[in-house]
Chains A and B, each alone.
Chain A
Amino acid sequence: MGWEYSEKTKQLFMDAVQGKPGTHLGEIENPDGMGEHGSIACGDAMRFTFRVKRHATDPTKDVITEARYLTFGCTSAIASSEALCAIIEQGGYTPIEALKVRNSDIVEYLQGLPAQKIHCSVMGAEALEAAVFNWAQRRGVDLKSLGIDIHTKEEEEGRVVCKCFSLTEPYIKRKIRELNLRSIPEITNAIKAGGGCMSCHHVPGGLQDLLDEIWHGKPPQAPLEVIPFDARGAEGPDQPALSPYHFAKKVEKAVDEYIRPSLRMDGGDIEIVDIKGNLVYCRLDGACAGCMGASRTLKMMVERTLKDTVDETIRVIQV
């Protein structure tokens, strides 16, 4: 897989890494809006901050004057971050107007992105959206009353379709509509869903079913039922091979060695509440508790790490 980047993408990336004047890397101190998207476990993460010129009486008339980013990611993730900041600064938008900036605008600014890198531009748009929501909170603007869908409950309330990237049905459906995604590869390229183990592609309630439902009006098939823990027999297939005592010790050790240190970096922490069979119940504390990415961080990093280090059948449940 070579680099099929446009000249513009390459130039923005090289300018950014060389810290040329006019680039936007950095973080604004005491910003008016701050948004994050992605995680180190997923392979790309962005922190986007902006400053506004405050309107004396009406916060909805604030105008964004400065935008900055810090990005952990590949060439196109960094170029997309640059593009986002340039678009926002050049536009002279109010934060609410900025919500109209779409990932397609970033792609256009970059003079195109390879199909498998579209998710980099989506990351930019998502971080922007999060930053605007954050601004609204700080400035006491009720976005809902302005008719803006802030889709806050998607992550907590939705059924998880893509387990590798912890993406829920309402989120994937909204993105299929917003980004006009017509096939599974298009979904994967845009939001990574289905890009890991690929087991969610053609199962009942999987990505193909969501596409069929949205574009062809087919009624959804019932998703595969998850058997409640209590209904499983003592010798059920998901019983870890270790004794409960050793299993719990192993989970604890993995949390101490691999998980807690990275959460502490962000000022957070993790507590194991209980372990029942292969189900590990966790609570996030401190700075992690209120973070929008909390449930994603949990699922992605904690579950993956425990699967890798302790037992493949482990499922993590946030308490």
Chain B
Amino acid sequence: MRTIYLDNNATTQVAPEVFEAMAPYFTEDYFNPSSMYEPAQKTAHAVAEARKTIAACLGAADPKEILFTSCATESNNTALMGTARGNPKRRHIITTAVEHPAVLEVCREMERGGYKVTYLQVDSSGNLDTGEFVRALSPDTLMVSVMHANNETGVIFPIEELSRIAKETDPSIIFHTDATQTVGKLPIHMARDLRYVDSLSFSGHKLHAPKGIGALYLRRGTRCRPFMIGGHQEEGRRAGTENVPYIVGLARAVQAALETREQDEARIGRLRDRLRTALETKIPSVQVNGRGAPRLPNTLNISCHYIEGEGMLYQLSAHGICASSGSACTSGSLEPSHVLRAMKVPFTAVHGSVRFSLSRYNTEEDIERVIGVFPQIVANLRKLSPYWDNQRNAPRAEAGIITAPGRS
């Protein structure tokens, strides 16, 4: 049975051309780029070229604005903690309630260290309230960290607008964005659309490069203390021997994504929309989380009321289909998704959420297979649910279905 992989917001397969580009740097050109001898020049050159490629793809003014890290989590840690230490006079941070833990947990840790953090709330579609953002800005605001798009729902935040507002309010406010879900999926141009953004993080394994490589765009002149100390690499801004093959792979993946982005986006979007409409038609009491908000074309987060996500994933897996859920049973923490809770998704639906996230390797057959099996999977579990009336094929309820607030 062929595996149908629909969990590309978690990680992606390494593209063949990326793997190929990396290979020589494991076996032949394995030298430390910092070494003096002739063969090491080639590896140093490969790192420099990769930096140039990525800078060009992101529309950065200068290759030096790209730092290589081990992952997006490290990039986010560096951006937040490094900037805070570089600008010690201010103590207020603005972020959102729906950030990835790589930002959220760092903010909580900084709160314990005496920083004041404002967590911006979202509405039932997952949108931020710009008014609330404006009211949160204060003379003590050191930094704003707002993700470019949400990993669970795919909802895109207007970081161009928010970063402009922040800079127009006070140019010394630093604006960071976690773009892990958008590099390779949305157009990114640091010198134009995102010219008010000071730092941006992403990782390789969400765009068909391997796990274990990430990058941080850090605008020239941004004060940021290093997070990793112990070497002169990356001009002293991130110590540690350069991971040459992975850096080469990251550059190749970013380049490949840029080359095919527009046609991929359209095709993936069509597949996702086909999946959404088919599931909405075939399954009663479902809701699309993030409906009404601008969303990534590859993400569909759908909640089936009155059943629990893990049992759905298990049955999907028996059909060779890989997806993920925001239910408590799959979170490892006994708490359901903080993102869906922030969106006030009712409890009857939070635990029954399933996320399908596509990549350029998904086909129409993949989607038809899901459409073929998923409605039955939901029906199977509803037969067992104490909240479902099987005779009426509707929720057991005098008061009717609990719909999500604000469903359009």
Report which A residues bind B (CB closer than 8 A). Answer: 1, 3, 13-14, 16-19, 25, 27, 36, 40-47, 69-75, 77-78, 116, 164-165, 188, 192, 195-196, 257-258, 260-262, 264-265, 267, 301, 305, 308-309
Contacts and interface: CB of A to CB of B under 8 A. Distances in A.
Interface stretch (B153-161, B170-178, B355-363, B398-406): B398-406
A257 B16 CA distance: 51
Interface of B: 306-311, 314-315, 317-318, 327-330, 332-336, 341-342, 344, 346-348, 351, 377, 380-381, 383-387, 395-400, 402, 405
A188 B332 CA distance: 11
Contacts of B400: 261
B383 A25 contact: yes
A33 B346 CA distance: 31
Contacts of A195: 333-335
Nearest to A116: B332
B376 to A, nearest CB: 9
A196 B396 CA distance: 29
A309 to B, nearest CB: 6
B314 A40 contact: no
18 contacts: A1-B330, A13-B314, A14-B318, A18-B380, A41-B347, A44-B308, A71-B386, A72-B306, A72-B384, A73-B308, A74-B314, A77-B308, A78-B384, A195-B335, A264-B399, A265-B387, A301-B347, A308-B342
B329 A264 contact: no
| Majority SS at the chain A contact face | mixed
Nearest to A5: B314
A72 B312 CA distance: 12
Contacts, number: 117
B384 A25 contact: yes
| Chain B CB within 10 Å, residue with most, of A77, A78, A116, A309 | A78
Given A72-B387, A73-B329, A265-B387, 10 more contacts: A3-B317, A25-B384, A36-B386, A43-B336, A71-B384, A72-B306, A75-B314, A77-B308, A261-B399, A265-B397
Contact of B402 (A17, A261, A308): A261
Contact of A70 (B318, B377, B386): B386
B311 A13 contact: yes
Most chain B CB within 10 A, of A44, A72, A192, A301, is at A72
Contacts of B341: 308
A23 B107 CA distance: 49
Given A1-B332, A44-B308, A309 B344 contact: yes
A194 to B, nearest CB: 9
B307 A43 contact: no
B256 to A, nearest CB: 30
Contact of A72 (B308, B314, B318): B308
- Which of B385, B386, B400 is most buried by chain A, counting CB atoms within 10 A of its CB? B386
Nearest to B309: A74
A74 B347 contact: no
Contacts of A72: 306-308, 351, 384-387
A196 B334 contact: yes
A43 B314 contact: no
A25 B384 CA distance: 6
8 tightest A-B CB contacts, nearest first: A195-B334, A74-B310, A43-B328, A17-B380, A70-B386, A264-B399, A74-B329, A265-B397
Contacts of B328: 42-43
B348 A75 contact: no
B398 A265 contact: yes
A232 to B, nearest CB: 21
Nearest to B331: A1
Contacts of B329: 43-44, 73-74, 77
Nearest to A309: B344
Contact of A258 (B307, B315, B344, B381): B344
Nearest to A198: B333
A41 B306 CA distance: 11
Contacts of A265: 387, 395-399, 402
B351 A43 contact: yes
A78 B344 CA distance: 27
A73 B352 CA distance: 9
Contact of A40 (B310, B318, B342, B387): B387
B373 to A, nearest CB: 12
Contacts of A267: 398
Contacts of A74: 308-311, 314, 327, 329-330
Given A196-B333, A196-B334, A73 B399 contact: no
Nearest to B395: A265
Nearest to A14: B318
Contacts of A309: 344
B386 A46 contact: yes
Nearest to B351: A43
B347 A73 contact: no
